[in-house]
């Protein structure tokens, strides 16, 4: 049977295009199906969205030819400072401080704006003769047979593929049509996301404040700007997100503090409910899931996209090695290797972020004292601190080849 492609990827966000580029490098024909109708523009205005790319993820982006087009706009994270905090009071005197100088490899990660990363991925796909990218294309059905998967599209067209990859996020249609279910739960928290300009330079320092209602991350962007990912109790967040910009800032300022001087909003504001979910299987016959379609974690450590990119690197290595051995790369034994590689690691990340959120998202004075003393002790232990730093940089565990130096 002649297939339209070797791999059909449902989802044109970030993980899908990254997988397409990696697949094309090993000679696989790819079709990327994007349900959205808006193609990224080169000179798009900053809309407030940005991502923390761990060092390992930066290596993957370099390997697929994307990093060279975003490097000049990326902001290195030189330090991470973690502390308890309280609105109007500021950070606790006990904290953990992670300096990139403790890593031989360089900065632990980079902040990259969505407008730059998304456009660079799209531009790179357009240069590959093995990638077909379809905008405004919605999948309505999928059926698996002995020779692959047939996709039905909303425009009544059909696509045949040897392997189908779901990169279509939470509530993945690919997973649902394959009969894959999830385990997990919703938190009573909502993430409020925005970007701010500030009077003082941030020095490349990323801050993680643990507030009673939930964690707040302040992450450095280029110039005197930072991204804020602020987890708040859902009842409060529902009210806060309806406020105008001035009133929103009045609520944010006591939580943010004045360590960077006065702040002003730049770009848009976003919100999304928080929860943890893990697919009970990452694979089905001729189907694999990556990114949020496979696992959704709390943004407490900023590892959601990085975990998805690790899926990308692991999956393409498994497929490439199978192809070189003459195996059917879309077969269950091959896909099972991908699941074995990634499922435990992603589940451990989800459980860890869940535990940290539960431990820190409260104002219990006994727990607060224990947390503060614990962070102070860990900060005084260089080997432990360096281990945590390498974990944040994505350099631990069984690294896929695309994430190695």
Per-residue pLDDT tens for 173-226? 999 999 999 999 898 999 999 999 999 999 999 998 888 888 899 999 999 999
Report if pTM > 0.85: yes
Q: Report whether pLDDT(106) > 90.
A: no
Query: Band of the pLDDT at 40, cuts 50, 70, 90?
Result: confident
What separation in angstroms does the CA of 268 have from each of 46, 47, 146, 226?
Answer: 8, 5, 47, 13
Nearest CA-CA partner of 298 in 241, 220, 353: 353
Residue by residue, what is the 3-state secondary structure of 212-254? Answer: CCEEEEEEEECCCEEEEEEEEEHHHHHHHCCCCHHHHHHHHHH
Highest mean pLDDT among 7-16, 36-45, 105-114: 7-16
Q: How many CA atoms lie within 13 A of 325 on its CB side?
A: 10
Q: Is the pLDDT of residue 92 over 60?
A: no
Q: Is the pLDDT of residue 302 over 80?
A: no
- Each residue of 44-90: pLDDT tens digit? 889 889 999 999 999 999 999 999 999 999 999 999 888 776 655 55
**Does 91 have pLDDT greater than 60?**
no
pLDDT tens profile 360-379: 666 666 566 566 666 666 66
pLDDT per position as a tens digit, 381-396: 667 677 777 888 888 8
Question: CA-to-CA distance for 223 and 200, rounded, in angstroms?
Answer: 10
Closest CA to 5 of 181, 24, 87: 24
- Quote the pLDDT of residue 368: 62
Does 291 have pLDDT greater than 90?
yes
Where along the chain do its domains lie? 5-403
- pLDDT tier, 311 (very low <50, low <70, confident <90, very high otherwise): very high
Across all residues in the chain, what is the average pLDDT? 90
Cα separation of 164 and 160, whole Å?
9
Superfamily of domain 5-403: FAD/NAD(P)-binding domain (3.50.50.60)
CB 76 within 8 A of CB 110: yes
Angle value at C-alpha 362, between 360 and 364, nearest 5 degrees: 105
Q: pLDDT at position 373, please? A: 61
Using a pLDDT cut of 70, give the percent of the chain over it: 90
Q: Could you report the per-residue pLDDT of 336-352, keeping only the tens digit for each?
A: 999 999 999 888 888 77
């Amino acid at each position: 049977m002649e297939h339209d492609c070797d791999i059909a990827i449902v989802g044109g966000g970030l993980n899908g295009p990254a997988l397409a580029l990696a697949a094309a490098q090993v000679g696989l024909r790819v079709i990327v199906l994007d349900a959205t109708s808006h193609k990224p523009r080169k000179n798009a205005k900053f809309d407030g969205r940005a991502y923390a790319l761990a060092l390992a993820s930066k290596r993957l982006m370099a390997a697929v030819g994307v990093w060279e087009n975003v490097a000049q706009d990326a902001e290195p994270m030189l330090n991470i400072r973690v502390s308890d905090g309280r609105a109007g009071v500021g950070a606790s005197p006990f904290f953990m401080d992670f300096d990139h100088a403790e890593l031989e490899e360089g900065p632990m990660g980079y902040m990259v704006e969505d407008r730059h990363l998304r456009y660079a991925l799209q531009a790179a796909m357009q240069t590959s003769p093995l990638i077909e990218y379809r905008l405004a294309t919605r999948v309505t059905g999928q059926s698996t047979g002995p020779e692959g998967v047939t996709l039905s599209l909303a425009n009544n067209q059909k696509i045949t593929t040897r392997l189908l990859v779901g990169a279509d996020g939470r509530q993945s249609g690919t997973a649902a049509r394959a009969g894959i279910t999830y385990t997990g739960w919703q938190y009573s928290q909502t993430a409020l996301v925005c970007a701010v300009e500030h009077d003082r330079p941030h020095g490349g320092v990323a801050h993680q404040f643990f507030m009673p209602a939930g964690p707040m991350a302040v992450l450095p962007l280029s110039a005197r700007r930072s991204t804020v990912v602020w987890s708040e109790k859902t009842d409060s967040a529902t009210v806060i997100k309806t406020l105008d910009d001035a009133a929103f800032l009045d609520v944010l300022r006591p939580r943010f503090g004045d360590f960077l001087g006065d702040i002003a909003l730049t770009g848009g504001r976003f919100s999304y409910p928080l929860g943890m979910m893990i697919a009970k299987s990452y694979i089905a016959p001729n189907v694999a899931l990556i990114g949020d379609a496979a696992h959704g974690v709390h943004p407490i450590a900023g590892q959601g996209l990085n975990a998805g990119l690790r899926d990308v690197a692991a999956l393409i290595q498994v497929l490439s090695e199978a192809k070189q051995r003459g195996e059917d790369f879309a077969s269950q034994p091959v896909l099972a290797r991908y699941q074995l590689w990634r499922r435990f690691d992603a589940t451990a990340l989800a459980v860890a972020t869940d535990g940290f959120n539960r431990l820190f998202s409260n104002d219990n004075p006994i727990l607060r004292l224990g947390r503060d003393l614990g962070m102070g002790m860990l900060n005084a232990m260089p080997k432990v601190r360096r281990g945590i730093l390498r974990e944040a940089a994505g350099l631990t565990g069984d690294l896929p080849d695309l994430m190695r130096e």
